[in-house]
């Protein structure tokens, strides 16, 4: 299963659809545990339907993206803070 876990670098193209500034170098704070690090360092699971970004510290979902009937839907509730 290890090899199914990637990191935020793998979501760079997807994040570029959502954010105007380059997001993998941005600092994200986990809303759940408060840990902070570059978006590039979070865990990414891209094999599920959609893409899930999880906190490497506590496993909480930080961001979730799905493409539903051609629309990209983002659930960003797990972000405590995002600084570019």
Of 69, 77, 76, nearest to 15 by C-alpha is: 76
Asked if residue 49 binds another protein (CB under 8 A), the reply is no
User: Interface with another protein includes 25 (CB under 8 A)?
Assistant: yes
Q: Give the one residue of 16, 33, 58, 60 binding another protein; rule: CB under 8 A.
A: 16
The answer to whether residue 59 forms part of the interface with another protein (CB under 8 A) is: no
Q: Is 4 in the site for another protein (CB under 8 A)?
A: yes
Q: Which two tokens stand for residue 32?
A: 């759940």
Residues 6+ apart with CB under 8 A from 32: 55, 58, 60, 78, 80
> Binding another protein by CB under 8 A: which of 31, 35, 36, 46?
46
């Amino acid at each position: 299963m290890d090899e199914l876990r990637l990191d935020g670098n793998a979501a760079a193209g997807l994040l570029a659809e959502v954010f105007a500034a380059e997001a993998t170098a941005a600092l994200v704070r986990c809303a759940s545990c408060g840990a902070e690090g570059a978006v590039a360092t979070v865990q990414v699971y891209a094999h599920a339907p959609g893409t899930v970004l999880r906190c490497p510290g506590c496993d909480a979902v930080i961001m979730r993206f799905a493409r539903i009937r051609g629309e990209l839907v983002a659930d960003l509730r797990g972000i405590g803070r995002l600084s570019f």
